[in-house]
Structure 1
Amino acid sequence: MAIQNNGNIITKMCGKKGLFYPILGITTIITLIFIQFSGDLTKFNLFKQKNYSFVKVVGHQFMLDGKPYYINGWNSYWLMDHAVDKKERIKEIFEGGSKMGLTVCRTWAFNDGAYHALQLSPGQFDEKSFQALDYVIAEARRNGVRLILSLVNNLHAYGGKTQYVQWAWQEGVGISSSNDSFFFDPTIQTYFKDYVKTVLTRKNTITGIEYRDDPMILAWELINEPRCTSDPSGDTLQDWIKEMSEFIKAIDKKHLVTVGLEGFYDSKSGKESENPSKNEAALGTDFIRNNDIPTIDFASFHMYPDKWIKDTLDKKAEFVKKWISTHTEDGEKQLKKPVVLSEFGVSSHTEDFKPSHREKLIKLVYELTYKSAKENKAGAGSFIWQFVVKGMEDYNDDFGVIPWEMQPVYEQIVMQSCRVARLRGQSDVKGSFEGLCLRSQS
């Protein structure tokens, strides 16, 4: 009777009793959707966006939908940390990057035992922080930005390998207190593998997609800037890279894997003279050897000329040209894999710093990267270190920039995005970005 009475009410409102049942059905569906997504309709709307394909590697090039894929990207390592309680910053950085035509962001998918820790202790995860990482990935998808997710830090920041060693030592199972035991201690290797498996098989609470099935993740990076100084031969690090990359591929066959190297050469390579100084040859790492593994899909390297080279700006520029061309050539001729400059920047804390120095470096990097891509060589893109937003003064390092507040830098980034988009031959240049590209040509 109640339904019939409601039906009479609807009939009076609509003028036709036959409309009641369709309206009731639609109302029920909407209610169920609302309940399913806990009132957050962004979870539902995400599925109505563009279907993305996985980026693949063919020879020394990235490929997407059968076409060469080149990258203009950036670093914002802090995204997951700030997504815990400052989500507006994540939204701002992705919207800003997307508006400049940037297509890939490199960030941390780790925070071990620190503030806002993702991994509280071995195998113990903080769900709030995991949902923050879910949000980062979902927001990247919403803005059409892909991600390179790094899985652990060689440095102390955000826990890193030091935290893993401390956990094992505190539990009385560590075989050495050396930080480098991260690479060879069986217990620590189990800790790390458990962590990696948890991340790769995580089902995003916003998109409903497991991380290993999400094409918006371009690649997994094993470790940020690995070094193993206790074994200058490089054997220890080489074995670790091989084992961990094979472990990832056994769980996730869809995504690309890279190491996360700084790009130094060891004494056996015959190329140690390419390093900034003699010291780097003894760090237990080698750019060619470490990347020459079947389960490593592409090579990456870093570059900080004002920190590495104590000389004039012109000498630093010469180093930049040689450092980039050498690694690009290694990718094309020896590794036969794509190569990306996954970190480069200029410190504002050097004694002779001028904004024009940063602008000159960015321009030079972009010219060299674009030239390689245009000639179908192995150089596949570059990632500036790093972008921040307002309110991050306490977190910013001396390399951080807010690009939309620095007109020369902003213009250089947009110009590079436009050139790269045209090389891709895709419909990337559209909307407001199309207007920016047209202005950059004038």
Structure 2
Amino acid sequence: MESLWKERKAYPLLGFLSIAVFFYLNFCDDLAFPILWQPKMMGFVGTNSTQFVINDDNREQSVFYVNGWNSYWLMEVSVWSTSRSKVSEMFRRGSLMGMTVCRTWAFSDGDRHDALQIAPGVFNEMVFQGLDFVIAEAKKHQIRLILCLVNNLDAFGGKDQYVKWAQEAGVDVSSSTDSFFSHPTIKRYYKNYIRAILTRKNSLTGLRYSEEPAVFAWELINEPRCTSSSSAPFLQTWITEMAAFIKSLDQNHLVTVGLEGFYGSQTTERSGVNPGEWAASLGTDFIQNSAIEYIDFASVHAYPESWITDADLEEKARFLSRWVDYHINDAERVLKKPVLFTEVGSSLHTNNQGTNDRDFLLKITYDKVYESAKKKQAGAGVLIWQLMVEGVESYNDEFSLVAWEHPSTYKLILEHSCRLRIMFEKGETNKEVNHADPCFGS
């Protein structure tokens, strides 16, 4: 009788579970209950000298080269269930272009209604659930995330907001935003933020962020700069301290700085590689900052149009070519770490011959990283800035695009994804694809 009772009780339970799975698979963009169906397992990304590798269930390593993109707006758009479908669509389309990594903001600081951290250590749970959704949805599409933890710029609060919080609390702190890198109170605010992020248990997956393989890496700060070059030692110490702090909480994930890649006053022999003399006065140094023990890979940005505004296309191409070459070589020979070009941006401009300047400049970076990959060297990937979908135009800038509205750029992105995949077809990049393969049409 007891066996029969259990059997009868099991039928409604199985029916409920079946219905729940059906609703998740078909309507998950609008529902917010824990995921009952787990996507295919993903391994954590690590490094082996100058290459990214992924450890599978059998503890075998596969080499991993990145073709990816930026969409900084994902968390904010995910706050409201009515707009989450746009995030899902961005991941779907990125996956259809063969891309495997997306970089996005995991911060929004201030007293706005849509801020994640509204005061030091005080969080908006609704916004946190938006970030939960971004991570869960990326995992569903087999996309890994580089999550940036604070902005150097004022947009979305940034380091300026941390300084203001300290001042409002009566702390004797300079109004210079360089205080972000040096003042103990502000550093404590930031460490508390890191702790909250890394220990957050995702309301959809049930995993802590520190346990989530869909996270590719933590990025300390977007484009760090100092207002005075004399603050360079404070920035160097800050990077060391914060990267070590992350590693003390999370041994699963990689850490990078978020540098633009400028060479500083400590590496005068590289000064000619910079886009101008101004770049060496910002307190950053690609080699010195990236060489820190707890930094797992180097990061570089590339904006030839913004950095050398008066140059023609040929001069911008020469600069970009040299910029990429030097950073790959320094990562390979000096740092002995992988390097990711985490923002490569160019506006759409068609010249008299009908050539798209953006495609021309992007192809330079793609080709050089591909050549590095063929030699199994440190050029480990490129992330275009930035991709959009219809309906998120408010996050647009001069370098943003809806790729499928620009066939030549779309084709270029897809072709680069495919040649990397084909080169390492036995690697994780192939094993994780869970849709019709865009490279082989199967």
Letter in 1 for 2:403: P
Structure 2: distance between partners of 1:427 and 1:382: 17
Q: Which residue of 2 aligns with 1:143?
A: 141
Structure 1: distance between partners of 2:347 and 2:189: 35
Letter in 2 for 1:220: W
Counterpart mapping for 1:220-259 below 5 A: 220-232=218-230, 234-259=232-257
Q: Which residue of 2 aligns with 1:395?
A: 395
Q: Which residue of 2 aligns with 1:315?
A: 315
Helix, strand or coil at the partner of 2:34:
helix
Q: Which residue of 2 aligns with 1:15?
A: none
The answer to whether the Cα contact below 8 Å between 2:349 and 2:356 also exists between their aligned partners in 1 is no
Structure 2: distance between partners of 1:381 and 1:370: 8
Counterpart mapping for 1:329-348 below 5 A: 329-348=329-348
Structure 2: distance between partners of 1:19 and 1:366: 64
Counterpart mapping for 1:268-347 below 5 A: 268-270=266-268, 271-309=270-308, 310-347=310-347
The answer to whether the Cα contact below 8 Å between 2:63 and 2:427 also exists between their aligned partners in 1 is no
* More off after superposition, 172-181 vs 376-385: 172-181
Q: Which residue of 2 aligns with 1:61?
A: 51
Do the aligned partners of residues 323 and 230 (structure 1) sit closer, same or farther apart at CA in structure 2, a change above 3 Å counting?
A: same
Letter in 1 for 2:254: L
Q: CA offset at residue 33 of structure 1? A: 9.4
Do the aligned partners of residues 207 and 292 (structure 1) sit closer, same or farther apart at CA in structure 2, a change above 3 Å counting?
A: same
Q: CA offset at residue 204 of structure 1? A: 0.2
The answer to whether the Cα contact below 8 Å between 2:257 and 2:290 also exists between their aligned partners in 1 is yes
The answer to whether the Cα contact below 8 Å between 1:100 and 1:433 also exists between their aligned partners in 2 is no
Structure 1: distance between partners of 2:350 and 2:119: 38
Structure 2: distance between partners of 1:283 and 1:104: 29
Helix, strand or coil at the partner of 2:147:
strand
Structure 2: distance between partners of 1:286 and 1:207: 39
Among 16, 26, 38, the alignment partner of 2:11 is 26
Do the aligned partners of residues 35 and 363 (structure 1) sit closer, same or farther apart at CA in structure 2, a change above 3 Å counting?
A: closer
Do the aligned partners of residues 254 and 438 (structure 1) sit closer, same or farther apart at CA in structure 2, a change above 3 Å counting?
A: closer
Q: Which residue of 2 aligns with 1:423?
A: 423
**2:90 aligned with 1:93, yes or no?**
yes
Gaps of 5+ in 1: 5-17
Structure 1: distance between partners of 2:156 and 2:184: 22
**2:162 aligned with 1:171, yes or no?**
no
The answer to whether the Cα contact below 8 Å between 1:343 and 1:384 also exists between their aligned partners in 2 is yes
Q: CA offset at residue 43 of structure 1? A: 3.5
Letter in 1 for 2:43: S
Structure 1: distance between partners of 2:306 and 2:353: 11
Give the TM-score normalised by structure 2: 0.89
Q: CA offset at residue 26 of structure 1? A: 3.1
1:9-48 deviation line (CA, Å, top 9, x unaligned): xxxxxxxxx9775243132355589899x9969733442x
Q: Which residue of 2 aligns with 1:107?
A: 104
CA RMSD of superposed structures (Å):
2.6
Do the aligned partners of residues 44 and 115 (structure 1) sit closer, same or farther apart at CA in structure 2, a change above 3 Å counting?
A: closer
The answer to whether the Cα contact below 8 Å between 2:301 and 2:341 also exists between their aligned partners in 1 is yes
Give the TM-score normalised by structure 1: 0.89
Structure 2: distance between partners of 1:33 and 1:193: 42
Gaps of 5+ in 2: 25-30, 56-60
Helix, strand or coil at the partner of 1:63:
strand
Q: Which residue of 2 aligns with 1:129?
A: 127
Helix, strand or coil at the partner of 2:401:
coil
The answer to whether the Cα contact below 8 Å between 2:32 and 2:204 also exists between their aligned partners in 1 is no
Letter in 2 for 1:154: N
Do the aligned partners of residues 287 and 45 (structure 1) sit closer, same or farther apart at CA in structure 2, a change above 3 Å counting?
A: same
Structure 2: distance between partners of 1:394 and 1:189: 32
Among 23, 26, 35, the alignment partner of 1:44 is 35
The answer to whether the Cα contact below 8 Å between 2:67 and 2:99 also exists between their aligned partners in 1 is yes
Q: CA offset at residue 364 of structure 1? A: 1.6
Helix, strand or coil at the partner of 2:151:
coil
Structure 1: distance between partners of 2:37 and 2:109: 30
Do the aligned partners of residues 140 and 293 (structure 1) sit closer, same or farther apart at CA in structure 2, a change above 3 Å counting?
A: same
Helix, strand or coil at the partner of 2:255:
strand
Among 75, 89, 105, the alignment partner of 1:80 is 75
Count how many residue pairs are aligned between Structure 1 and Structure 2: 421
Q: CA offset at residue 161 of structure 1? A: 0.2
Structure 2: distance between partners of 1:235 and 1:253: 27
Question: Which has the larger Rg?
Answer: 1
